[in-house]
Amino acid sequence: MTLDAQTAGIIAIVAGVLALVALMVIFVLSAQISGMRRDYTLLQDHDGKESFVGVVARKTEEVGLLREQVELLHAELVHTREELSAAIRHVSVVRFDAFGDMGGRMSFTAAMVDDHGDGVVLTTIHARAESRTYIRALRRGEADSTLSPEENQAVEQVMGDLR
């Protein structure tokens, strides 16, 4: 098979155009690779300092550790809140005169409960020669025995604080 001159010329032109296109592609890719090398050099360690990639890796690890610590603190906070709800931290005090001939409201009743209304009512009756102290249990704001008006007042006040 022989090629005539015209066909050979067309093939030569097409080959030349393809060669020019290939050469342009090589220049474009060479410029892109050069830019990537420049960017990569910025990420690498130079002057004895830590590389960007190293910093990112270290910070990623630190963030992971912080997340673990936050999860532990959250669990501890939930536990502490549960314990705190069972602590006696709501108090109401009512002072009164137990006897008509004594003034100064030296007698008192204190209602002390946790977040659920469980606790005690502590009453001290002060007289001239002696003092007596009584304690009654509270469960959900209800006493296990009959309360005096002052004790009822103290319980109502402390339970009102819970609502």
pLDDT at 100: 72
- Tell me the domain boundaries of the chain: 50-85, 90-162
Residue 127: the pLDDT is: 85
pLDDT computed for residue 135 by the predictor: 95
To the nearest 10°, report the CA torsion of 143, 149, 150, 154.
Answer: 50
Nearest alpha carbon to residue 88 among 55, 121, 64: 121
Output the tens digit of pLDDT for each of the chain's 163 residues. Answer: 567 888 888 888 999 999 999 999 999 999 999 888 877 776 666 665 777 777 788 899 999 999 999 999 999 999 999 998 888 989 999 999 888 766 778 899 999 999 999 999 999 998 888 899 999 999 999 998 999 999 999 999 999 987 7
- What's residue 42's pLDDT? 66
Q: What is the pLDDT of residue 43?
A: 67
